[in-house]
Structures are given as C-alpha cells and as structure tokens.
Structure 1
C-alpha cells in the first residue's frame, strides 16, 4: 500500500530544547494511524510540524510523494492536507456557515456547495444551525464544527490533535464513529490522542510518543500487546 504521508528522521526544537528526536512515521493511503502518548510527549508538536505551523530543524516530510518542507500551512491545505488542532479552534464570533466558508479559502479547487452538503450529511446538526454563532454551541458541537472545517477542503489526509479532549464519554463515542465514517469515505486519517482505548478502536496501526521519541507499535492485532509491553518496561 502506498504511503500518503511519510516523516523521515525529523528533529524539532524550541530554542535549545529538543522536542522531537529522530521521528519516523508512515501513513498508508486509506488507513487510520494513531499516535498515543501522555500530555507533553510531543504529539501536538509533531502534527504542528506536519501541517507547517512549526518548522523542522532537520529531516524530511513527504506528502503524496513530494517533500512539503518549506511549504506554508495554506499551501499544504491546498495540496489536500487538513489539520484539526486540539480544543476545537473555531472562529467563535462567526456563524457555523461562516466558519465553514472561511475554512475553504485556502483550498483553490473546491466545490463549495458539494462540500457543504458533504459535511451537513455527516453532521445534520450543523445544517440545522448554520446561522448559529459558534461560541454559543456546546463543546461537542464545536468539535463537530472543527472537524467539518477540516473536511470542507476535500482533503486526501486529515489530522486530528486530541479530538476527545474535554469531551463527555458519549461525545467521544460520536467522534470515534465520525472518524470511522471519514475513513470509510476514502479519506486517510492521522490522529493524536492520549486515550489509548479510543485510539485502539479507530486505528489500523499505532505509534507511541514517549519522551520526545516516536515508537511504532504495529498494526491492528499487534499494537495492544506492544503498548502493554512498553508500559511494563517503563514501570518495571
């Protein structure tokens, strides 16, 4: 299977502090790949780096067979790489419809009407609340809107950073189902989350970020034992 995204020997730092060390990651086309790890392990920095928000010190990032190092975030969006940051970062004073239309601006070749229909089919509540101001919505509804913002650019790959953060268990289940639906629609998914149980349910393969280092745990059927072995070694 072709790798849609590859991260090769990537190092990232903030000043003199090394945050990511020698990271290697492959995301095969059509799969859901998860990165699990504790808060502060470097998951967000890695996704920020892939999206272009954070520069790398060394290494390479390829998307669809082309290096995107040096590309601005909006250029990566235009290539089909979407990013949904943690804590549902919507535009709080804009309506649902305004949020979605604004999210489409960096994507140069998107059918606005078709993409709005697509996300409204996935999230009917957003269709019902197109004129509602985002700041008046619940946390779960804002997370749905944030996911929809990523989807309206018609991405080939969408990345989610901590999509379950601060959400009630029922909403976490809804987000899990949504990610599965997105994958089934043909979009490749990379998700970073602290919740191992959540990641286990959605993933085709999994990585563990620990102490700024990325470790491959294997494919479905392998990664649960590999994760437990790693935990046992840490606390042995």
Structure 2
C-alpha cells in the first residue's frame, strides 16, 4: 500500500507540473500586452507576438525539464512543434535546428562513448592503470584522474563519468573502510567529477558545449574553428585545470 501511495503521489506531482508548464505558456502567449523595453537612448522595442511565443515556449520547456514531467526528448520535440503550430517560426527553420551539424556531432560523440563502454575498452584501460600505479593513495588518485581526463578527449565527459564510476567504486571498496565515509573516497569521486569536466574542454568530443559554442561563434563572427584548432588552444588550459 505504501508503494502504491508513493506512486500516486509522484504521478500527481507530475501532472501538476505538466499542467503548470501549459498554464505558463497560455498566460504569456495570450496576455494582451507587455510593456516595451526602452534603451538608454529612449528607443522603444515592442515585444512581437512571435517574441511572446518564444518566451512562452521557454517557460513551458523550462518547467517540464526542471521537474522532469516527461522525457527530455519529448520536451525538446515539443519546442519545435509549438514553434510551428503557433507560427513563431517556419517549420523548416524550427526543425532544421535538430539536424544542425553541432547536434549531429554531439550524437556521434555519444555513440563513440557507448562503443568504448560496451566493448569494455574503458575497463581495460582502468585496470591497466591500476596495475601500473600501485597501491599508494597519491598514485591511485593520479592514475584515476589521468585516465578520466584522457578519456574525455575521446568521448563525452558524462559517459566517461558513468563508465569510470563503477570502477572507482570497486577501488574504494578495496581500500576504503567498509561503510564509513573517508577522505580517500571523497577525494576520489569529487576529483573524478571535476577532472571529467576540466578534461572535456580540450576536444569537441568531450562535451556538447564546445560544438554548440563553435556553432554560435560561426554564426555571429562568420569564422569557423576546426577540431584541431580548438584542441591546440584548449589543451594547455584543460590540463592546467586538471
């Protein structure tokens, strides 16, 4: 009975936040008029109907993402669909963003990460590392963090963290103090999370933000940045952070 009650409570919350997102969308989109934005020179900027629609979609998507009322992918597709239904953007422009080169690059990098994980390559690297560094705490830290940072050059940092976590858990069980939290454990897992983020800035394969940032940079400045050009400048910064 307790499990059923908890499930009903969770489902009720999901429905409430689902409807909250829809309500925010409707309120903002159908509100009669919003005051103009005025710059320091006194020039007025009127919020168009399309602008209100974009703001309304942002509130709906933000609510659904924040409270996880539906799968993330469904919310993402809803953004494109609403843009078309409410004539905010043409269908071609709205859905073309889903096939942007940066999006496809992110998809490909995730696939590479899955291949590394499914084939057991990351485990082989980690176990080889442990056999080299030995059992000294500082060397275990060094080995784990070097492997983590290196892997983020070739696969998404979230995939690296998901892959490395079970291995670090096994290491912690070997050298930890049963169920008691230890400084060794805190350093191991917090350090892994930090290093995964720091190492991921070195290449475009490490994180989605790099590909998206380059896409924005190209649209705004009109200059493209190649894979190796980014790595050339970010390699020293990333490894200094590591």
Larger radius of gyration: 2
Under TM normalisation by the shorter chain, which class is it?
under 0.3
Name the structure with the higher strand share: 1
Higher helix fraction: Structure 1 or Structure 2?
2
TM-score by length of 2: 0.24
Report which structure shows greater RCO (CA 8 Å, sep ≥6): 1
TM-score (norm 1): 0.24
